[in-house]
Structures are given as structure tokens and as C-alpha cells.
A and B are shown apart, each in its own frame.
Chain A
Amino acid sequence: MLIALLRTYVGPYRWQVLAVCLFQLIQTMASLYLPGLNADIIDDGVAKGDISHIWHVGFLMVGVTVLQVLCNIVAVYLGARIAMAVGRDLRAGVFDKVQSFGSREMSSFGAPTLITRSTNDVQQIQLLLFMGLTMLVAAPITAIGGLFMALRQDVELSGIFLIVLPVLLVSLGLIIWRMRPLFRLMQKRIDLLNQIMREQITGVRVVRAFVREESEAERFAEANELNRQVAVGAGRLMALFFPLLMGIMNLSIVLVLWWGAMRIGSGDLQIGQLTAFQQYLIQTLMAVMMGTFMFMLWPRSEVSAERITEVLDTEPVIEMFPDVPAVELVTGNVEVKEASFSYPGAEQSVVSGVSLVARPGETTAIVGSTGSGKTTVLGLVTRLFDVTAGQVLIDGQDVRDLRPADVWRAIGLVPQKALLFSGTVASNLRFGKADATDEELWSALRIAQAEDFVRALPEGLGAPVSQGGSNFSGGQRQRLAIARAIVKQPKIFLFDDSFSALDYATDARLRHALAEVTAAASVIIVAQRISTIRQADRIVVLDEGHVAGTGTHDELMADCEIYRQIVLSQLSAKEAQ
């Protein structure tokens, strides 16, 4: 998965990657050349008493060092550039993909995980690539080069690699192998610990009201102790890592000296070669160690790659740009005919056989218990979902034969969650009509009963809105979201439980004021409060995805039991008349 993803996204940069490898190769070779030159100093300079030779080789070494650092810096430059560019491309890939998703794909993933996938997961891969191109690429080159140079010094002595390398690999492997489950366990324990902490903070009132502080502290202490134990276990294993590594390296040097001394004694080796050999051995072992880091980084990146690929491979059910002519929906006649929707593989459909009509200048209301499918019906009209049976017509045309963008242009949606975007009040209001004048904005605010509080803000329309609109109260957000829809001047208004955070008086005033802009538009209102919808031209009662009744308040009171139950749970029998 990771490899396939990298192949696709690193592909455009393949020449740059090749250049990185080349520079890393030169850089590594230069590094490896130094001990050889040092050997030269000892064997042909020191041992022969030739000081000018020492200086001569010394200057050569400086030259090699400069070459090495230059190549290294270029490699880092290119490596950083490629890694960050691939990160950028991946983010753009995921973002574009998600933008093409419909509500069905959005809800099957969920926004939080999509956010993590386009940020943290991409970052993980970017990190792997950066580490890989700037440091890890050099590891195998160094290991092989070191081995090669060592062989050049003395083939027989190189037998030591046969002993040391397996020992090093096996011990590193053992530690990493034992560490991974420990780290996973530790992550679990920490998550649990943090979860308890979070629960106590969000539930502090309940904890205190039920005088549960002590038992909560005990629960926490228990989780804390479990976490400490596994953390100590992992820490102890980690503590073994460096001493073991140092031990292996140091002992291999001792071994080299002993064996090398024998070789020198028999005249097969020169003393300078021996010192060079030591350097090569250390460089090779260090490179092997670096390589093993890759193994620690790889699994996490692999998981990230899987999560990213999953998004990239998802094809949205609703095509964003179908090959049909653009149309303008001028009237806003909505007709839902026997519409059903169910998730693939689900046992029961969310809604089935729902029919309703909404005509310009009329209000159609949808009521029903939580989970009865009210929002889904609105989703079918907006084409955030497509029906699995039946059809949805706007101005007589099946919405599936239209471009989604054309459908959306006709609709003013006020979603259940009154979500605002960071920016200003004005930028939020202009969300659906970028060229709206300030007068239009104020008029929309006035209708939405939001004029007073916006006027009271020192910056007025220019007042900042923070992410999600968190600097406004729930009621204010709802009114701004309503104003946003009004500014768009749509043919069809969809209010999804949009008055719930308003007090009854404001609710009533707002609906009164709305009349002037909805005179020529169809209105579909989903609501909980009977008072909000009792005057609607048409009320559709939903129960578990089915239509339990359609009619006016009086008609439904007379012949729809479920509607009566809903009404009587809010009003007295007398008020209901």
C-alpha cells in the first residue's frame, strides 16, 4: 500500500530522487574515503617518516571533506523539497477527493477521520520520506561501501563482519520485536488514562453531585499504575538498546585489533590498514543501525498510507460533473415520489416510500421523532443522497438528471447544526452569493432577527467569526445561518430544525418576518415544536422512515394517531384545537 502510494506520488519527482541518490552516493563515498587516506598517512607518512606526504594527504582529506559536506547539503535540500512537495500533493489529492464526496461518503467515513487522514497521516508519510531521502538512503550505501572498503583493506579480516553483523542484527531485531507490542500496549494504556481524565473533566458536575470523587480517584490511580508498569517495562527495554549497541561495537573493535595484530605479525596487513578497517567496521555498523530505524518508522507509515489510499480509492456515488446541459431551476416546485433510501447492506431503509410536495408560496412541514428520517428526506431533495427507489423531482425534472451544482443553486439550506466559517459576519452571509450588497445583508439579518445583535457588535458586518462560529451563541448562530440562506435568494428553502435554539417569541417573530422572502419560494421545514409548524399548508408525519400521515394540523389531529401523540406531548387538548 505504502509502496504503491509512494510510486504514484513520488513519480513526478523521480529525477530529483535520482539526483538525491547520486549526491548521497558521492557524499557517502567521500566519507568512506577518509579512513583510507588516514591509513595512507600512517603507512606511507608516519611509518616512513615522510612528513611532507602527511601534509600532502592532509590537504587531499580537506578537499574530500568539503566535497562531502557540499553534496550532503545539496542532498538535504533536494530531499526536503521532494518530501514536502509530495506532502503537499498528497494533501491536495485527499482534499480534492473529499470535496467530490457526497453525504453518503462523508457519513461513512466521518469528518474527524477525514481530517486526520489529510493532516496527520500525510505528515507521517512526509516524515518517512524526508528521513528516508536525507538520512536513510545513505545507510545502505554506507553499509555496502564500508563493507567493500573493508574488503579492499583485508579480505580475511573482513570475516569479522560475518560474526558481528548477525549478532548486531539479531539483538536489534529482538529488541525492536519485543518493543513493538509493548509500545502498542503503552499507547492503549495512555489512551485509557487520558480518557478517564477527559471523562472526569466533562463530567465534573456529575462526579461531584454523586460524591464520587474518591472512587474516580481510585479508578484513575489504578489505570495510572497499569500505565506506569508498562511504561517502565518499555523504558527498561529501551535502556538496553544503547549499552548493547556500544558493547557490540566496542567488542568488535577489540576483536579486530586481535585478529589484525595476527595478520600484521604474519605480514599480510599494514598497520594503517588496520586503523582504516576499524573505521569502516564502525561506519558499517552505524549504517545498519540507521537502517533498522527504518523498520520502526515503516509500520506507522504503512498504516497511514492505507488510510490515505482508502480515501483516494473511494469513488463518490453521485457524480459531480455529469455530461448534461446546465439548466436553471426557476420555479422551485419540489415533488418527492415514493422515495426510499437505504445504506448498502443495511437491514432496514432509513426512509421508504416517502411522498410529499412543496410549491412556491407554500410551507410543507415534516415532523416525527428523532431518527424517523426527517433529515434524510431533506438530503434527498438537496441531492446529498440519491434515492434508492422512487424519485425526487424539481420543476418536473428528476434531480438525478441534473448537475448537482444546478440543484444546489436553487436551494437555501439551513442545516440542523448552524455551522459558520471563520472569517467575518459578512463573509459568512455572502457564502452563497459573493456579490451581495451590504443592504441585502442587512435586510436578511433583519428578517432573521439577527439585526440587533450584529448592529451591537463594534465591527458590525465586519465582526470576526471564529471557527465553527464558536464566538456566537447557539441562537445567534442559527439566526446567522438563516440569514445566510436568505441572502442567497433561493427558490427552495429547507429549514432543518433550524429554530430549536430560539426562544418561542423570537421563533414566532422570525417566522412572521420570513413571509416576505418566502412568498415566491417553496418552504420545507423540519421541526420538533408543534407551534412552529401548526400553521403549515401541509404537514408530513414521519414514523420510522414511513409516512404516517399527510395533511393540515386539523386534519391530522382528526385522523393521525402519531401526530396526535406528538401534539399532546406539547400542548393540552384544549390548546391543540
Chain B
Amino acid sequence: MSFHGGAQQGAKALNFKATFGRVFRLLLLDRVMVFSLLAFGVVGVTLSVIGPKILGHATDLIFNGFVSSRFPETMTKAEAVASLKAGGQDQLATMVSSMDLNPGHGIDTGALAMVLAIVTVLYLVSSLFMWLQGVLATTVVQRMVANLRNDVEAQLNELPLSYLDSQERGEIMSRTTNDLDNVAQSLQQTLSQMITSLLTVVGTLAMMLWISPLLTVIAIVTIPVALLITAAVMKRSQPQFVAQWGQTGRLNAHIEESFTGHEVVKVFGNQKATAEEFAETNEALFGAAFKAQFISGVIGPVMMFISNLNYVLVAVVGGVRVASGSLSLGEVQAFIQYSRQFTQPLTQIASMVNLLQSGMASAERVFGFIDEPHQSPDRADAKRPDPLRGRVVFDDVDFSYTGEPLIEHLSLVAEPGQTVAIVGPTGAGKTTLTNLLLRFYELDGGKITLDGVDIAEMKRGELRDAFGVVLQDTWLFSGTIRENIAYGADEPTEEQILDAAKAASVDHFVRTLPAGYDTVIDDEGGGVSAGQRQLLTIARAFLADPAILILDEATSSVDTRTEALVQTAMNNLRSGRTSFVVAHRLSTIRDADLIVVMEAGQIMEQGTHDELIAANGAYQRLYSAQFAEPVE
């Protein structure tokens, strides 16, 4: 009952069978429901398929009554036949002789009422069962999809970050959202209908054969013709659809580009060229879309033509057969109805195969995501530092990513309470250090210890509990400000939240908002500036009250004057904790206990600001580059 113009179904599953099998096994988890829905389907379809045949009896009763009433009551059937023959109506005589004639009597209303009553009950029960089948199908499908969603969610938490970082965000998102939706929709729309359609085809075929093998052959001959035509049309329309979606993609990309680059297009005087390109692509899309829609749109009329042709053939041949007495009129009536019913589920199956194809293509992509290898599990004999003081040691650490060494032979000691600043040009491996420290990635060589315990031997959760993190990317989830700050700890009290907010100098700002701490924010922002978002993430880290703090370019997106404000908060946060500060602007880390200068994965120098300036090395160069003489 939805309209699918043959669109959006370009994608095909690479391994349809295997994917379908897996989907089916997932559905089978509700074994009882699946079997009862099948049973309901069988009963419902059977009853509805029997209907026309019985209705045929009703037509026969009417026809008998109609013909019988034309003869006087005194006549027997044999006499009636004879009188027709005598009148030269041989054909009619043959037909009548095969009828259950009761001369002089009209329609047998008692018998007719009986037949119609039976059919009524049959149809009602059939509808009831079909409905139950639909209800069960929906229940099964939705439960399966909900489980699949939870599997995807669970998988998301088990995947190594290396996987998530190596894939395009958009790709992962589309697998975990669009593809899942598509699986749900296509299954919801096909499962129930597929079953009833298949059953209907089988049942109808059986009934047709029962009534008249000859007519069945006639009716069936047209099916392969219909299928051939459909296949031929599909084959011709496929490249048109590909062209249509290709052009749509091109046009959308062009529109997106022109609109987002609106100012540049204008100021650089490129409007004319842009408009010309648009017109060209738009026209090309029109051509492709028109062809695709027309060719696929022809399938409907052609199928209807075949069905009509069928109807004519059956009406004619059936009429002849009735006239010759080898079939009853009711049977032909029933047959016409069957032959019309027969093509309908076939076209339905054809269109559903398309839908199912695209659903399975999506399912395959979802399964692909679920099947990605997990990160190594936590060790059963995991250790934990006790007491936790915050002494972090990098001992000859090696790490490479996609074959490229990012960190080589790195050693570094952070004493409890110290602030360690990591500086260096982009790509020096600064952020990689924090990734390794939090075990987002595993080492290739050497080890990192926390208070003497190798972090690889700790549970990831317990390790990360020791850290508070403020990242460059100020991630907030859609929810209230209170909820976002509370993210830092397990069920914090209101007082703790407020204290954290005050410590991060964000309390005043929050109170200026109309809804205060109940203001809803989302990942796009919404009335909260970048700097304020950063303050909120700092409040979150405050609340976590960690032994060790990681500030990874925590103020990069804030202008320096605002940063000065944040800096006070950060200094509060840093006091008494081991801190790792990754910074771009050297001005912010001048008072660090230890400054580590990295370049190409290696430590070039380490020391305090004054020591490094005196050493006149890499740090000095970086530092002076920030204040290089501008030129006029």
C-alpha cells in the first residue's frame, strides 16, 4: 500500500541468500509466533480461495432457476431437452442436458440462501485470520528489528576505536540508522504480503485446475509472456534508473555546493557558470527521470493488458464450453475471478522482490557492521592500582596506525600532581598520546603504567574512571544542561552539579538562560556558543573528579580573551591532579611543570618553559614562530 516507483531500489545484496537466511533465522527466534502466523495465513488464504468456487454454485443455482423457469412445470428435463432439439436449438439442448434442470421452478432461494450464508461465514473468518496473521507478522518483525537495533548498539560499544576512526562517519551513521530503518520497513511491508501472495498463487492455481485444466492452460500461457515482458522492461529501465539516480546525485551535489558556497559564487562572479551547469544537469535529470518513469510505468498497463486478454480468452473459451455443456456458468464465473486473482499476487510478488532486495542489501550492511571484530576483551585477572595516586609512565612506547609509525620509542614520566604539556606541529602525535593513555588504541611496543600497573592489564572501564577528559570536540548530547554536566559521574547530587558548574565558571551564564539548568541543548548548539560549550565540558570533567586530567586542545575553538576566562577554570581543575595538556597555543601552557615537544612521533625535547627557551631548540623555534615579525 505504499508507492514505490521502482525508485531507490538500485542497491542489491551481494549475497542475497545468506543474508535472507540470517534474517529468517532471526525471525525464527519467535518460533511459536512465526508458525502460528504461517498457519493463520494458510487458513485465511484457503478460505478466501475457496470462496469464488462456492459462489460459482450460487451463480449456477440462479442460472438453473432462470433456465428452468422458461419451461412449463409439467415438463421433465428430458422433454425440455427434446423440445429444444426439435426447435433446432441443438447447442442450447446440449448445455441444458448437462444442467440440473427443474422445469417450471424458479430459483431455489433456500439453497441459494444456504450457499451465500456459507460463503459469508467463510469470507468473514478468512478476513479475521488474515488480520491476525498481519498482526503477528508485525509483532515478529518489529521485535526482530528492535533486537537488531540493540545488537547494533551493543556492537557500537564493543568496536575498537580504530575501526570507527577508519570508517567514514557518514557511512557508519547510515548503516546504523538508514539501513536499519530500511530493513524494518521492507520486512514490515513484505513479510506478511509475501506469505499471503505465495499462498494465494498456489491456492488459486489448484482451484483453477480443479475447475478446468483446459482453461488453466490458457490462463497460464499468458503468465510467462507477462513475466518475459516485465523482465524485458525491467532490464531496459534498470540503466535508466541508474542514470536517474546518478543525475539526481549530481544535481543534488551541485545544488548543495552552490547553496553552501553562495557567498563565494557571488563575490567571485561565478553565478552565470553555476546557473549554466545547473540548467544542464537539471535537463539531463529530466531526460533520465522521464525515461525511467515511463519505462517502468509501462509495466502496469502491460500487466493489465495481459490480465484483460486473459479475461477475454477465458470468457470466450469458457462461454463456448458452457454452451457445449462441459462447464457450468458458475464455474466460468469462478474461473474468471481466479484468473484475475492469479496475476495480481504475481505482480505483487514481483514488486516485493524489489523491495526485499533493497531490504536485504541494507540488512547485509547492518550485519557487516555487527560482524566487525570486537576490541580485545578485558582480562579476567585484571589489576588495579591501589592507592590511585596518578603517576603515569610511558616506557619506550611504539605505536603505528595503518602501517605508519606514529609514535616511536617514546618515554615520559608524569609525577602525581604535575602538569605535563604536549606541544608540536599538527601530525606530531600529540592526540595519539591521549588515545593510547585512555586505551582507545593498543600499543605496538613498550608499556604505559599507572601507579606501576600496566594499563593493558587493567579493565578499560576502571582505567578510564581514573581520568577526566576535555576534548577539542565539545560533544554534548541533546538533553538539559544539568543532564550534560551530570554525565561526568554516576547519579551526582544537585549540589555536586552546581559546584562543578561554578568551578568551571559556567554557573552565571547558565542562570542567564530562560530555563536555567533545564535548558535543552543539542549537538548542533542552540543558543550556546562554542566557548560556553567548552565550559560545560570542563564542568563535566570537574564532576568526574578524576585523579588524572586530559585536556586535549580544550580551548582551541575559543577566542583568546574568552580562553583567559576558561583558563581560570582549567587551573582550578588542574590543581592537585596529574594533568596532560595538549595545546596549540603556547601561551596557555607556559607554567606547566613539564613541556614535551613532539615532532613526527618522537619527543624532541622536554623541560620547563625557561629551560627549553634557553636550550634554543625545537621549542624555541615553535615559540618564536608564533611571534614572527609580520611583513608589510
Contacts and interface: CB of A to CB of B under 8 A. Distances in A.
Interface stretch (A4-12, A450-458, A529-537): A529-537
Interface in B134-153: 134-135, 137-139, 141-143, 145-146, 149-150, 152-153
Nearest to B315: A38
Contact of A208 (B141, B256, B438): B438
A239 B131 contact: yes
A363 interface: yes
Interface string A47-91: 111110011011001100110110011001101110111011001
A465 B260 CA distance: 16
B9 to A, nearest CB: 15
Nearest to A518: B632
Contact of B464 (A31, A208, A575): A208
A58 B316 contact: yes
B293 A205 contact: no
Contacts of B63: 271
Interface stretch (A218-226, A329-337, A388-396): A218-226
A515 B630 CA distance: 10
B471 interface: yes
B631 A271 contact: no
Given A65-B309, A260-B62, A431-B264, A531 B181 contact: no
A133 to B, nearest CB: 10
B123 A46 contact: no
A276 B329 CA distance: 13
A271 B329 contact: yes
B564 A565 contact: yes
B282 A508 contact: no
Contacts of B157: 207, 213, 216-217
A421 B161 contact: no
Interface stretch (B27-35, B555-563, B573-581): B555-563
B128 A504 contact: no
Interface in A383-432: 384, 404-405, 408-409, 411, 413, 415, 419, 421-422, 431-432
Interface string A461-480: 00000011000000100000
Contacts of B294: 76-77, 80-81
A51 B469 contact: no
B183 to A, nearest CB: 12
Contacts of A81: 290, 294
A317 interface: no
Interface size class of A (residues with CB under 8 A): 35 or more
B614 interface: no
A131 B3 contact: yes
Contacts of B333: 275
Contact of A134 (B130, B262, B297, B469): B297
B251 A61 contact: no
Nearest to A432: B268
Interface string B437-466: 010100000000000000000001100110
A537 B133 CA distance: 81
A99 B271 contact: yes
A55 B91 CA distance: 14
A559 interface: no
Given A115-B255, A251-B123, A261-B112, A42 B329 contact: yes
B119 A254 contact: yes
B352 interface: no
B315 A41 contact: yes
Contact of A92 (B44, B192, B279): B279
Most chain A C-beta atoms within 10 Å of own C-beta, residue among B123, B464, B544: B123
Interface stretch (A151-159, A194-202, A301-309): A194-202
B93 to A, nearest CB: 8
B312 A254 contact: no
Contacts of A211: 460-461, 464-465
A140 B61 CA distance: 35
Contact of B561 (A232, A261, A565): A565
Interface string B173-185: 1001100010010
Nearest to A362: B632
A91 B308 contact: no
A85 B263 contact: no
A274 interface: yes
Interface stretch (A161-169, A240-248, A341-349, A438-446): A240-248
A68 B305 contact: yes
Contact of A243 (B128, B262, B311, B324): B128
A198 B173 contact: yes
Contacts of A260: 62
B251 A119 contact: yes
B523 A199 contact: yes
A409 B270 CA distance: 10
Given A76-B298, A84-B289, A254-B120, A201 B261 contact: no
B529 A371 contact: yes
Given A197-B177, A209-B467, A228-B145, A239 B55 contact: no
B173 A467 contact: no
B294 to A, nearest CB: 4
Interface string B537-566: 000100010000010000000111111100
Interface stretch (A141-149, A350-358, A566-574): A566-574
A205 B153 contact: no
A373 interface: no
Nearest to A58: B316
Interface in B245-267: 248, 251-253, 255-267
A575 B93 CA distance: 121
Contact of B305 (A54, A69, A84, A225): A69
Contacts of A47: 66-67
A229 B146 CA distance: 10
B263 A68 contact: no
B59 interface: yes
Interface in B289-316: 289-290, 293-294, 297-298, 300-302, 304-305, 308-309, 311-312, 315-316
21 contacts: A62-B312, A69-B302, A72-B301, A80-B290, A87-B289, A101-B262, A106-B262, A195-B478, A199-B477, A205-B473, A243-B128, A247-B126, A257-B55, A258-B113, A261-B58, A261-B107, A297-B3, A384-B266, A508-B629, A531-B628, A570-B585
Given A99-B274, A217-B154, A371-B529, 14 more contacts: A34-B311, A49-B92, A49-B94, A50-B91, A61-B316, A95-B255, A111-B259, A119-B252, A119-B255, A210-B469, A220-B153, A224-B149, A243-B126, A254-B120
- Which 9 residue pairs of A and B lie closest in terms of their CB atoms, listed nearest first? A239-B134, A235-B138, A49-B91, A49-B92, A58-B316, A508-B628, A72-B301, A69-B305, A432-B268
